[in-house]
Structure 1
Amino acid sequence: MKEFAWLGIVRHGESVGNVAAAEAERGHAEVIDLAERDADVPLSETGRRQAQAVARFFEQSPARPDMAIVSPYLRTRQTASGLRIPVVVDERLRDRELGVLDLLTNAGVHARFPEEARRRARLGKFYYRPPGGESWADVLLRLRSLLRELREDHPGGRILLVGHEATVWLIRSLAEGLAEPELMALARGEAIANCSISSWRGDGGRLSPERFNDVGHLEAHGAPATEQEEVRAETA
């Protein structure tokens, strides 16, 4: 199967959910104060500026992507709205689903679901699946399906993905063939910035890293860099 000429992924811009989650953690609250369901959380004003910076970066790039594949969530669609390339929405790029832990802070999980907190600590982030939710391994399966289909339909293509924090890490694991211990060690040591760009270039039938979690384009186009966690209770 022919490899992509180039594969990139952008995490969505700062969302109002990111801001609410940060405020809840700072205030030691158990629940994140957010009215919208996760799929309907919009970008913040800062997030809109970041999305504009991403659009300007790719507009000025000498090797623009052929198309963008975008998570169906509002914040990702808003991030991709300024891209002047064909955009396709695919539900396999959606964020990880948290089930009963949705909108809980880490303190909220320990207070309301102590048994789940213990199970999460024992299994680790990659394999832990909250009731009604997904593990990172579950998300990896749908991303693997997506990339296989894209390779078949767009051999040698230049494909940009627009997704979420966890999907950036998991796309990296697929592009670079990372096993769980290596991936989790990397994820513990670095936060994925809003509207960061990560990319790999086709190199003799394989993908070679080009950049990861890069935010230089934000400063270049007058937007601040932010690293808020997704709206979820997560462990490091």
Structure 2
Amino acid sequence: MERTRIILVRHGQSQGNTAAESAAEAGLDRIDVPARDPDVELTELGAAQAASVGRWLAHLPADQRPGVVWTSPYTRARSTGDLALQRAGFDAPRRVDERLRDRDMGITDMLTAQGIRSAYPQEAERRSWLGKFYYRPPGGESWADVAQRVRGVMTDIAAARDEVVLVTAHDVVNLLFCYVAEGMDEQAVLERSRTDGLRNAALCIIDRDHDSPTGWTVREYNMTGHLEADDVTVTAQPGASDEVGGDDA
């Protein structure tokens, strides 16, 4: 390849995902996560989803395989990359970058949407007024804050001039890579999140493109064919489209 390609992989299903789903189904205020956010691990299904990514990588032509991996420091994202490369049968240097970490939810961490409305009604009102993209919970980050991190990573990846880069990260992080590459506005990215949110272990492909106004072009978005081909269950982030809370876990 002559231009930089970024292959984005959302982590496989995590124990945090299933805990959030269970809490929402039970109508609870609090999510019973098994560990602090950086240490949340993949479920058995999440590991199978990561292995499916590896089988997809193994079938790529040699010149289209990633030569380096940039990963979030969070366990679920790092494990996804490690399992994928192990299954693919080749290795690549890892670069752990804290800018790829999941969004910091601040005081709303570990709370369901219902829990946020119950514990912090003023924050729920402020979130409703500001909108999901610009709302920053106390001690946490907005989507706009994460987008700023992502822009820096994309600039550094372009400067490194590696031909194919595998990025293993999180729902909102990968979505915002595409937001930057496509030059989307607030309404467009929120609509995509609502109607076509990234599935666990979904793939996106972004190419460096000097003819594009943003310098990038999204070639593929939210690919899950590798999971379906392997008969691996496709899962979505519970609560990702909720009007108050829940980005990734």
Q: Same fold (TM over 0.5)?
A: yes
| Alpha-carbon displacement from aligned partner over 1:67-99 (angstroms, at most 9, x marks no partner) | 111000000011001312222111000000001
CA contact (8 A) 1:72 1:93 kept: yes
1:122-201 equivalences in 2 (<5 Å):
122-154=129-161, 157-201=163-207
What is the distance in 2 between the residues matched to 1:201 and 1:134? 28
Give secondary structure in 2 for the equivalent of 1:118. helix
| Alpha-carbon displacement from aligned partner over 1:93-125 (angstroms, at most 9, x marks no partner) | 000000100000000000000000000011011
Report the Cα offset of residue 204 of structure 1.
4.5
Instruction: Give the structure, 1 or 2, with the largest relative contact order (CA under 8 Å, sep 6 or more).
Output: 1
Q: Which blocks of at least 5 consecutive residues in structure 2 are unaligned?
A: 86-90
**Normalization by structure 1: what TM-score?**
0.93
Q: Which moved more, 1:223-232 or 1:15-24?
A: 223-232
Matched with 1:228 is 237
What is the distance in 2 between the residues matched to 1:204 and 1:148? 13
Give secondary structure in 1 for the equivalent of 2:138. coil
Matched with 2:67 is 66
Q: Counterpart of 1:67 in structure 2: which amino acid?
A: V
Matched with 2:54 is 55
Matched with 1:17 is 16
Q: Counterpart of 1:118 in structure 2: which amino acid?
A: E
CA contact (8 A) 2:5 2:208 kept: yes
Give secondary structure in 2 for the equivalent of 1:10. strand
**Normalization by structure 2: what TM-score?**
0.88
CA contact (8 A) 2:158 2:208 kept: no
For these two proteins, the number of residue pairs brought into alignment is: 232
Matched with 2:88 is none
Q: Which moved more, 1:98-107 or 1:213-222?
A: 213-222
Identity %: 39
Give secondary structure in 2 for the equivalent of 1:210. strand
Q: Which blocks of at least 5 consecutive residues in structure 1 are unaligned?
A: none
